[in-house]
Amino acid sequence: MSPRIRRTVGLVLIWLVGLGLAAAGVMKFFVPGGESSQAGAFADLLIPLGIVEAGSAILLLIPLTHRLGLLLCTAFLGGAMAASIATSGLAEAIPSAVMQAMLWTGATLRTPDLLGPLLVRPVPPKSDAPTTTTTTTTPADAETL
């Protein structure tokens, strides 16, 4: 895959996740009173969660703050998965897991050196000079000789 195509696919994945998170965050501001009861234990936290979700998504979409947004969105989606598993079961965490996989796939395609040595083990440079081993003797070894 050429670098240009890889970068474009990465940007598309990042923008899909970023726009999805931003839309979900903004929608939390406009929840009617009757529907907030569906949020269960988190009904009182809808506005703060919306602020964090939309803010993280905005930071993700701005090129200068992309890496900070990536970390914040990862943390937010991880918390969403944990809350979904704790309250509703494993099946409810699948959308957050898919979004997180899309996010990291896009980030890695956009910036291949993002994870650095975590993905690729550096190969030590080969030297042209032959290696020689030298032995040294210590004063204790000299007495035994």
Question: For the CA atoms of 44, 46, 49, 50, what is the dihedral angle to 10 degrees?
Answer: -150
- Is 38 within the bounds of a domain? no
- Is 4 within the bounds of a domain? yes
Q: What per-residue confidence (pLDDT) applies to 137?
A: 59
The number of angstroms, rounded, from the C-alpha of 14 to the middle of its chain's C-alpha atoms is: 11
- Is 52 within the bounds of a domain? yes
Mean pLDDT of the chain: 83
Tens digits of residue pLDDT in 76-104:
999 999 988 998 888 889 999 999 999 99
- Is 117 within the bounds of a domain? no
Range of the domain at 63: 1-31+43-112
- Is 87 within the bounds of a domain? yes
Number of domains in the chain: 1
Q: What per-residue confidence (pLDDT) applies to 41?
A: 66
Are residues 99 and 77 in contact, defined by beta-carbon separation less than 8 angstroms?
A: yes
- Is 20 within the bounds of a domain? yes
- Is 37 within the bounds of a domain? no
pTM of the model: 0.72
Q: How would residue 142 be classed by pLDDT, with cut points 50, 70 and 90?
A: low
The number of angstroms, rounded, from the C-alpha of 6 to the middle of its chain's C-alpha atoms is: 18
- Is 16 within the bounds of a domain? yes
